Amino acid sequence: MTSDDRILIARILKQNDQRAYSELVNRYQSRLRYSLRQLTGWDEALADDLAQDTFIKAFKNLASFKGESQFYTWLYRIAYREFASYKRALKPVAPLPEILTEILPDTHHANPMTDVNTHRDLAHALAQLPYEQAASLHLHLHCEFTQQEVADIMGAPLGSVKSHLLRGKNTLRVLLSSWQTNASDKGAKQA
């Protein structure tokens, strides 16, 4: 936890200073909302609702935060619980092969990896994976949490996280190779 976070949290707990919490929300809102967009197939409204619920629950439970981890990590733990409970309430998605081509975008440009749309495309691809795999991949590969931290955030054994990562990567490789093939074909036709 950064010293700034620690000071702000102390002000909230001791002086009930809600402006200090406003600073914390402002500090982390972008990263958390981006992560939730990645996990919800870039559904901006849903991601913002989940992020809002996360920050409200974090405020209510701030006294239970012991500072043993980064505040950011603790926040992600709450966010993941919100996201997982939302996903569990949903019906199962269609099997992957039937929808594989639907998620592959035809909006690839000269430098697709720097295009803002690529963030959405990856979010759409992640949304096709089981949510535990998508979350493991995003938390580990994008947010750069260690595998143990991912396990803590997800409340899962380390072995399960490793398994989710392996399976998620394999599935994503299929999705991305088709994506690259489509992009190459499209480029060849245009040439």
Partner 1 sequence: MNNHPQRDVSDDIFRRLRKSEPYLEDNGFTAAVMAHLPKQAELPLWQKSGLIILFGLIGVALAASMLPVQITPLAPLAAMLTDHIVKLEVFGFTAAATFTLAGAALWFTQHEM
For binding to partner 1 (CB under 8 A), which residues are involved? 15-16, 18, 21-22, 25-26, 29-31, 33-34, 48, 51-52, 55-56, 59-60, 113-114, 116, 118-119, 122, 137-138, 141-142, 144, 168-169, 172-173, 176-177, 180
User: Cα–Cα distances in Å, from 16 out to 10, 12, 13?
Assistant: 9, 5, 5
Q: Are 143 and 66 in contact (CB under 8 A)?
A: no
CA–CA separation, 165 and 138 (whole Å): 9
Q: How far is the CB of 91 from partner 1 (least distance, A)?
A: 27
Smaller CB separation from partner 1, 87 or 112? 112
Q: How far from chain centre, in Å, is Cα 96? A: 20
Q: How far is the CB of 132 from partner 1 (least distance, A)?
A: 16
Smaller CB separation from partner 1, 6 or 119? 119
Q: How far is the CB of 26 from partner 1 (least distance, A)?
A: 5
CA–CA separation, 32 and 82 (whole Å): 12
Q: How far is the CB of 58 from partner 1 (least distance, A)?
A: 10
Which amino acid makes up residue 18?
A: Q
Smaller CB separation from partner 1, 52 or 182? 52
| Burial of residue 161 (number of CB atoms within 10 Å: 0-12, 13-18, 19+) | buried
Smaller CB separation from partner 1, 38 or 80? 38
